Structure formats: C-alpha cells, structure tokens
Structure 1
C-alpha cells in the first residue's frame, strides 16, 4: 500500500501541530565572573572605610590622650603657682623657726622638678625674677614684686614635645596683715577715701573731675590741686587765709591747674614727757615747732629741694593738742623720673641742754622686711624720692629719755602697728 501525502509534503501525523519557535542563543561567557567583580569592589570599598575608621579612632585616642595630659599639666602648673603664693612668713629664718612645712616668701625662687602622671612624665620648671618696671626701668625691689613663670613640659604618645605655661606676679606682703581684714572699719583720720591715692590728705575735697584740692593749714594762703590717681600735686593756687577745703570748687582752681609738679610730704608729730615714753600712746601735749627739709647727709646726695611746709603747731607750750600735723610741698628735679633728696627735720625746739631740752625720734622701721629702710618707711635721709609720701611721723621726748624701740607687728598679741622709733635729732 502506498502512503498518502499532501502536496506540502507534511506528514499527516504532524499536520495539525504548530511549529516550535527557535530560542535565541546567548553566549555564556558574557555573564560569567560579574558577581566576583562586584564582590571584590564591595570588599575594596569596605577596606577603605575600615582604614579610615581606624585612622579616626587613632586620632580620637591621641586627642583624648593629649587632653588628659594637658589637663594634668595645667593642674600641676596651677598647683605650683598656688604653692608659691601659700607663704605664711617673709624670711627664711622665720620659716626655719616655725612649724614643719612653714613656707616663706624668700622661698619664691627659680627651681625645677619632675612628676609622673597618667601615661607620661612631666617636667615642672619655675623661673622667678624681681620685676623690672618697663616705665622707669628700675627694679621694684622695695615693693617686693616678683615675676613668676611656671612651665610644664612632656612628650605625647607620638613623641612630640608639648608644654603649658603660666605667668603671674607674687607680691611681698606680710600675711600677718591679713588679720586686719577681721577688724571693724575705722573712723580715724588714717582712713583714705576710695578712688584716690592714699597719699592725698583725707581732708582734701574731691572736685569730681579726677582732681582734689587741699588747703594745707588754717593760716595758709595757698591751695594744692592733686591728681587723684597718682597723688602728684599738679597745681598751686592762691586763696584767702582761712579758706575752707569744703568751700572750693573746680571753677575756683581752674586757672591754676597744671601749673606745677610737686610731691606731698606729710605726717604728724607726737609728744611725750615720760621718762620711758610709750610710742603707741605718748600722752603728751604739743610744743611750738616748725618743719622743714634740709640737705641730706648722704654722700653725693643732691641739694635740698625747693619746698614749702605748713603745720598747725601751737604758738605756746600751754595747750591741749595731742599732736601736730604737717604738710610739705616738695618740688622735684626735671629728670626722668623726677626725684628729690633731703632730710626732714624739726626746728624751734630746744635740742641743746637744760631742763626743757628735747630729742626728736622718727617712727621708722624695715616694715616690709627687705633689709633696708625705704623712703616710704621714713629713713634718716630721703634719697631719690619719686612720689608723694604720707605717715612720716615723729615723736618728741625729753632729752634725758631714749627713743623707744617699740614693738613689731604681732597679730597674735593684738599688735597691728609697728611703733618702733629711731633718733633723728640732734645728730
């Protein structure tokens, strides 16, 4: 038998079946390895991030370390500075004779030390020098002011040198004077008004323009104008005798302001007739006298300056005055700084012989303990005075008595004023 086949040549078994479409052939090599590259890129990015994070952590640790070390260094520097300030006596001898651990101002000197703290060692160095005034170019040894620099140095974690430094001044002030802060306010004439130099007399009237005016005596025909900040006399005016300080105004002295330069020299004279005078409470009455400045007896000192002194001394010995006040205008030279030298003396007293012979003692001592009597401490001869001086006091006693030695300041025994005296006249 012959098989039947249509003209298209299609097998009868497949006549009713649709042809299957051919699938495109994609090369396998195109996709092969893409996932591996993506993984490697991600790993590389993460590696960079980890390295950056490690660097940040290292920087943070170093910064934290430096902050810790800097704080410790600052603590050491501040502690060293406060230790230097924590003195209770002035001289090394007083410290040696005091309780263990007593510190003296004399111990404020240059030194070096070391200290361990945290994860490093610190080197502590202090430099101490007497302060030199940049204005006048003179060491302020009389004022007892020292310039202190404390430097703390160390090495950080990276081996770099680091340091902190503190600068300050330490004044030579007797800590015993701090006891006076516990005393009630005084109403005596020794108080000075605020906002003015302490050398300006308390009776001077503040004119409200940075100056004060003062008539030095009830019989004076002159008024002095002071600079409130410096205490320097910058003007001399003529006034009628008996003019009161309270009656003067800025307009009254406007025409004579800034017509001179002068320094005030002021104080009181006390009196005692006792065989053993008490310098704290002399108890005597005033004698007629005059105050003046004469040539200094120091070798090479300049001549006595031009001056004008006023006092309120009585005209006779029959009076009830306990003391005499005096005020002197002293004209310095024209140098830089402007200075004067001389010797302050009392006249009009019997300093020779006889029953009424007198002796003049001056209240004077090395109050600040620097080993010398400075101009402000009332020396026998003033030398190179460059400012106003107050509290230059005297004690007049009988010639047969001796100038009392007085007592040094001793707050524990209630002594807050040094009343030591030294003979001034006759020489």
Structure 2
C-alpha cells in the first residue's frame, strides 16, 4: 500500500538574480562613498595648498615691511637703504614661485608732509590650483626718525648731550656731510683749504683739515681727509657759530623780506676767554657782493677742552661801514626771547655771548642804511644795534 505525503499544496518557486541585484546595490553605495571620500581629499588638498600659500604670502608681506623699516639713512643715498626710498610700487612685483603658484607684491605708501611718518601697506596676491585669486594685506607706519637715535639707548649715560645728523638736529647744520664713520665734514664757503671734522655724537669740531683748494663739502673724499681722521690724534674741542647777513637799504627797512644787494662784510669774533681760546671765520661775501641778497658766514671757536665754554662778542668787518662819522650803514642783529625766559640766551643772538658750550646756528644780522633805525621786531625777531 503506497502512502503519499502531501505538503501544503504549494510548489517551490525558483529564486533567480537576487544575489546579483544586492551586489550591484552594494557597489553603488560603495562608489558613492568613494566619490565622497575622493572629493573630501581634493578639498582638503586644495585647502592645504591655499593655507600654505597664504602663510608664504604673510611671510613675504612681513618681509617687505621689515625692509621698509630697516632704512639706515634719512636722505636718499646711492647704494644705501634710505627713508626716502620708501615709495609706492607702480605695478605688481613678481616674487618668484612658491609651492605651485606665483606671489606678486603691490606696495602702497601714503605720506604727509606735515607729519614725520609714512603709512605703508604690502599686498600679496596669488592664484590657487583652480585659478581663484587670493589677497593678503599687511599695514604698518614707518616713522621718519634717524636710525642712529635708537643706538643711543644702549649708551651709558655720561651727562653729556648727544647729537646726530638729521633733519631736526639742532647741533649740526644741514650743510655738513656725514662720512658714515661717526664723523661729518664741512668745508666753509669762502675757505681755500680749510675743512672741519665734526663728531656726530657731541657736535664738536674735533679736527681741522687742510684739503685741496678746488674741493667742496660734497666732493671731499676720505682720502682728502686721511690726515685728520687718524683716531690716535688728540681731538680738538671746537664749536660752530653760523648765520646769515641780510640787507635792507630801503626806507624804511624791511626785516621780514630784505632784498637789497649784498655788500662785502666779514665776521669777527672778539673772545674774552684769554689766549687759551682761538677762533677762525669764513664767509661767502666776495661771491655774494652785488650778486645775491645775503651773505653766509661760519666761525669756529676752539677751547682747551669740551668742558670749557667760550665768551665773547661777534661783529662784522669792515667796521668803517657802520662806525664813525663816515659810516654808510647801520648793523643790526636778529634777537628774540624765543624761550620766554625773560632774558636773551646764547642761542637767541645776544650782544655778548657767555660760556657757550654748544654750536650756535641762525645768528643772523641785518644791514640797513645810515640814518635808519634797526627795525623793531615781531614776536619772533627783535633786531638791536651793536
């Protein structure tokens, strides 16, 4: 007897392609994930490049500003980094390749004549891998102060004033030329073979040189001055007295804008410090007479040491011009109580100098016609007769 077992009456169905579909879906999901990972890697690499390029741009901008701040002189000097060389670039300057791009510099400089500083901005631009431009800009202010002043902060105080050659220097005149070795030179106008060497720190005339007759302050070389730059020589202790003589022969005289032709006059110093002090004076009167409206003069007073001041009286020769019955002119001096101290100090051009211990500039005179009076000054000038 045969027994047949019956199930639920359903016949098994064949399952086809299920494994292949799942594999395709898995591959699709994995591909999307890989694409996202690749995109992330590309973004990270691009951002890394831009960060590196930005760091390099900041370094280049900072370096340019440091160069602008590292000037060694104020006036423009050939071959020397000077404050006057801080100027605006007219076009971007290529700085070479860094990583996979090229940085370019554009410098903008804004200066104000009334203020002693310049505002400098250094902008660095570059393009990343995708050609997108990026900028970095740094700004600074560069003060127009003589770099030598910073060096004096490290000096041990000795109670003596220091002076350097600069636009605001009150001890050395603008006409001297810095020799670059702590010394400056001046060949006075009207001098044949005499030149004075100044110490930039103290402002003293420390040496007197004999130089070629046809030389000028600007043309003198270290070779011309070698005989008086020897550090083993005993330094002199000279102080400068300098100024201008102007002429106003109109009636009444005009001290503010004197414009009469110059006549030949010469400075004379009458010292009261004894034989231990000597002086010498020079002027450009011969060249100025009849050609210009002013005469420039220079005097040097030599004392036994830097600690010894000089006293005396400064006048002009020939005295026959303004002394005696036959005098043709009256000699006046510009004098003013500039510091409002109630008295006329050495720097304010007194009738008599007393214990002068530093250089005196702008000791100016005015020549007027005989019969006129020395003009009364304003708050700035008060000419008085000798």
TM-score w.r.t. length of structure 2: 0.53
Is the alpha carbon distance of 1:194 and 1:398 closer, same or farther for their aligned partners in structure 2, counting shifts above 3 Å? same
Q: 1 CA distance for matches of 2:180 and 2:361?
A: 23
Q: What is the deviation of 1:306?
A: 0.6
Is it true that 1:421 corresponds to 2:383 in the alignment? yes
**Match of residue 173, structure 2, among 189, 194, 201:** 201
Is it true that 1:250 corresponds to 2:212 in the alignment? no
Asked whether the 8 Å contact 2:211–2:225 carries over to 1, the reply is: no
Q: What is the deviation of 1:303?
A: 6.9
**Match of residue 402, structure 1, among 373, 376, 383:** 373
Q: 2 CA distance for matches of 1:353 and 1:342?
A: 22
Give deviations 1:89-119, integer Å, cap 9, x for gaps: xxxxxxxxxxxxxxxxxxxxxxxxxxxxxxx
Q: 2 CA distance for matches of 1:134 and 1:275?
A: 53
Is the alpha carbon distance of 1:248 and 1:196 closer, same or farther for their aligned partners in structure 2, counting shifts above 3 Å? farther
Q: Of the two, which has the highest radius of gyration? A: 1
Is it true that 1:135 corresponds to 2:170 in the alignment? no
User: 2:208: which partner in 1?
Assistant: 236
Secondary structure in 1 matching 2:226: helix
Secondary structure in 1 matching 2:227: helix
Q: 2 CA distance for matches of 1:364 and 1:204?
A: 25
- Kindly report which structure 2 residues correspond to 1:259-408, keeping only aligned pairs within 5 A, or say none: 259-295=235-271, 305-314=277-286, 319-334=290-305, 337-349=307-319, 350-352=321-323, 357-408=328-379
Q: 1 CA distance for matches of 2:375 and 2:329?
A: 14
Q: 1 CA distance for matches of 2:203 and 2:288?
A: 34
Secondary structure in 1 matching 2:218: helix
Give deviations 1:189-243, integer Å, cap 9, x for gaps: xxx9627843323222111111111101244211111112222111111012121
Q: Which runs of 5+ in 2 are unaligned?
A: 1-156
Q: What is the deviation of 1:255?
A: 2.6
Asked whether the 8 Å contact 2:271–2:310 carries over to 1, the reply is: no
What is the root-mean-square deviation in Å for CA atoms of aligned residues? 2.8
Q: What is the deviation of 1:135?
A: 3.2
User: 1:58: which partner in 2?
Assistant: none
Is the alpha carbon distance of 1:381 and 1:305 closer, same or farther for their aligned partners in structure 2, counting shifts above 3 Å? farther
Q: 2 CA distance for matches of 1:407 and 1:401?
A: 18
Secondary structure in 1 matching 2:336: coil
Give deviations 1:157-213, integer Å, cap 9, x for gaps: xxxxxxxxxxxxxxxxxxxxxxxxxxxxxxxxxxx9627843323222111111111
**Match of residue 215, structure 1, among 160, 184, 187:** 187
Secondary structure in 1 matching 2:285: coil
Is the alpha carbon distance of 1:315 and 1:135 closer, same or farther for their aligned partners in structure 2, counting shifts above 3 Å? closer
Q: 1 CA distance for matches of 2:288 and 2:159?
A: 48
Q: What is the deviation of 1:295?
A: 4.2
Is the alpha carbon distance of 1:323 and 1:240 closer, same or farther for their aligned partners in structure 2, counting shifts above 3 Å? same
- Kindly report which structure 2 residues correspond to 1:82-121, keeping only aligned pairs within 5 A, or say none: none
Q: 2 CA distance for matches of 1:272 and 1:308?
A: 27
User: 1:143: which partner in 2?
Assistant: none
Q: 2 CA distance for matches of 1:235 and 1:316?
A: 28
Q: 2 CA distance for matches of 1:304 and 1:395?
A: 31
Q: 1 CA distance for matches of 2:170 and 2:369?
A: 33
How many equivalent residue pairs? 223
Give deviations 1:21-68, integer Å, cap 9, x for gaps: xxxxxxxxxxxxxxxxxxxxxxxxxxxxxxxxxxxxxxxxxxxxxxxx
Asked whether the 8 Å contact 2:167–2:174 carries over to 1, the reply is: no
- Kindly report which structure 2 residues correspond to 1:182-197, keeping only aligned pairs within 5 A, or say none: 194=166, 197=169
Q: What is the deviation of 1:353?
A: 5.2
TM-score w.r.t. length of structure 1: 0.48
Is the alpha carbon distance of 1:194 and 1:219 closer, same or farther for their aligned partners in structure 2, counting shifts above 3 Å? closer
Of the structure 1 ranges 261-270 and 271-280, higher mean CA displacement relative to structure 2 is found in: 271-280
User: 2:9: which partner in 1?
Assistant: none
Asked whether the 8 Å contact 1:196–1:228 carries over to 2, the reply is: no
Give deviations 1:119-165, integer Å, cap 9, x for gaps: xxxxxxxxxxxxxx9837xxx9xxxxxxxxxxxxxxxxxxxxxxxxx
User: 2:71: which partner in 1?
Assistant: none
Asked whether the 8 Å contact 1:262–1:330 carries over to 2, the reply is: yes
Q: Which runs of 5+ in 1 are unaligned?
A: 1-132, 141-191, 409-417
Q: 2 CA distance for matches of 1:367 and 1:208?
A: 34
User: 2:141: which partner in 1?
Assistant: none
Secondary structure in 1 matching 2:225: helix
Asked whether the 8 Å contact 1:286–1:321 carries over to 2, the reply is: yes
